[in-house]
A and B are shown apart, each in its own frame.
Chain A
Amino acid sequence: MSTKPKLAEKNGTIKAKELSVWTRAITANSEWPDKDEFLDVIYWSRQVLGIILGIIWGIFPLKGFLGLALFFIINAGILYFYFSNFQCVDEEEYGGPWELTKEGFMTSFAGFLVTWIIIYTGLHYEPDDTL
């Protein structure tokens, strides 16, 4: 008899946990008992952001050092705002803001460069037909 409520309780917590990664990611001040889960959210948001920025920069088109610098500032800035002001996590738990900023940065940068180069080449460059 006593197992029923226990089971229900257990199912309840499992369900809450299953629901959560997405919902928690877009809800302010969420709880993150599993550090890796939050780092994954940071990682994947950074990848998506990198590709979106690459597409925008390519369509616009932004060029040169300005494009690269703006990417660094916006990518680091948005994610910094996300984890410090939106989610309000204790940065020290993750080894400081630098560790969180490093998470997935290089991969995101590579993804950004690829999309930027491809879209820019496709939309704004006409090769001369000398070859």
Chain B
Amino acid sequence: MWADTLLIVFISICTALLGEGLTWLMVYRTERYQKLKTEVEKQSKKLEKRKETHGDTLDKQQKKKIEREEDRLKHNNRDLSFVKMKSMFAIGFAFTALLGMFNSIFDGRVVARLPFQPLTWIQGLSHRNLPGEDYYDCSFIFLYILCTMSIRQNIQKVLGFAPSRAASKQSNSLFGPAPGQFK
């Protein structure tokens, strides 16, 4: 059984590397992406600093400046996700096909034994396509998702492809502004 689990870890390492490699080929290395990324990072940092110093001010001019910068950042962020989107679609399709293949290889096979009983709404995933009612049995897809969750993000981080903290913080606050922020 150890062979199956290690094989799944290996598969997810390979798919993560493949995914990052393809994204690098289609997105990360393009000039447009790099330009946009540095711009977004620079703007996010600038905006964060400005908010820190003038966050609570009632000065209308400062507020206007902050809003204008937020708009610009929003615009750039949208461009950035658009650049990423096309390749994401392509990779998404390729990976769905790959996943389908692995799913059929491991179909009905218990790949691991869980040391805990998953919550009912996760059981559909952890017990997918498995015979019997023993919910401690683990299906391929559950282990694969867990492996991917940890491995892919760490690989992105090591390779420097993960979005910077300042940028993700700003884009989060742009999509869900804190209540009272624009009063």
Contact = CB atoms under 8 A, between A and B. Distances in A.
Given A110-B149, A114-B150, A121 B112 contact: yes
Interface string A42-58: 01000100100000011
A72 to B, nearest CB: 13
26 contacts: A36-B164, A36-B165, A47-B154, A64-B115, A64-B116, A64-B117, A106-B149, A107-B149, A108-B150, A110-B146, A111-B150, A111-B154, A114-B143, A114-B147, A116-B115, A117-B113, A117-B143, A117-B146, A120-B113, A121-B112, A121-B113, A121-B138, A122-B5, A125-B1, A125-B112, A127-B113
Interface in B35-54: none
Given A106-B149, A114-B146, A127-B110, A121 B116 contact: no
A46 to B, nearest CB: 11
B25 interface: no
B94 interface: no
A67 B150 contact: no
Interface residues of A, number: 30
A117 B5 contact: yes
